[in-house]
């Protein structure tokens, strides 16, 4: 499933970019098919997480893009593949995270901070520092990562 998700995301983005007439529709069909397949295979607890991701991602896209105008898509819409694409990335992230050792948290956070600093100082990403702060907050309050904190 992980390889299919990677193929769907990369292939869908390439289709959307290079096949102007029908690329977005083809990418959307691919993303929704894989997302629905993932939904069908998931147990009840994972279905709730996938559904929550879909709702939050869709609301975020509508608010940040259409209402707030923080960014704009090429065709001035929210491509129909974007919300299920968030679900696929979320699922892929949980699969990768479950296989990583706890010590990976430190080097991932370090790399993220360095990349965010470069992008922020170059003016290419002004929202990155806020998202990085949210990332660090999640690490700090997460009960799943309590074994990596040594507070005694």
3-state secondary structure the chain: CHHHHHHHHHHHHHHHHHCCCCHHHHHHHHHHHHHHHHHHHCCHHHHHHHHHHHHHHHHHHHHHHHHCCCCCCCCCCCCCCHHHHHHHHHHHHHHHHHCCCCCHHHHHHHHHHHHHHHHHHCCCCCCHHHHHHHHHHHHHHCHHHHHHCCCC
Same domain as 114, residue 87: no
Give the total number of structural domains in the chain.
Answer: 2
Q: How confident is the model at residue 71 (pLDDT cuts 50, 70, 90)?
A: confident
Q: How confident is the model at residue 148 (pLDDT cuts 50, 70, 90)?
A: very low
Higher pLDDT pick, 50 / 100: 50
Same domain as 55, residue 2: yes
The stretch 25-54 carries a mean pLDDT of 96
Q: How confident is the model at residue 106 (pLDDT cuts 50, 70, 90)?
A: confident
Same domain as 62, residue 34: yes
Q: What is the pLDDT of residue 152?
A: 33
- Check pLDDT > 50 for residue 117: yes
The residue segments making up the domain with residue 1 are: 1-99
Q: How confident is the model at residue 151 (pLDDT cuts 50, 70, 90)?
A: very low
Same domain as 152, residue 119: yes
Among 99, 123, 144, where does a domain finish?
99
């Amino acid at each position: 499933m992980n390889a299919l998700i990677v193929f769907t995301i990369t292939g869908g983005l390439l289709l959307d970019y290079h096949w102007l007439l029908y690329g977005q529709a083809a990418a959307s069909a691919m993303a929704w098919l894989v997302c629905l397949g993932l939904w069908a295979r998931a147990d009840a607890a994972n279905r709730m997480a996938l559904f929550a991701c879909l709702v939050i991602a869709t609301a975020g896209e509508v608010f940040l893009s259409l209402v707030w105008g923080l960014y704009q898509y090429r065709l001035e819409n929210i491509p129909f593949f974007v919300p299920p694409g968030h679900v696929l990335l979320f699922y892929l992230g949980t699969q990768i995270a479950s296989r990583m050792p706890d010590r990976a948290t430190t080097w991932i956070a370090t790399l993220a901070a360095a990349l965010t600093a470069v992008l922020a100082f170059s003016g290419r990403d002004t929202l990155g520092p806020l998202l990085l702060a949210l990332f660090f907050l999640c690490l700090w309050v997460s009960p799943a990562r309590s074994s990596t904190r040594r507070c005694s």
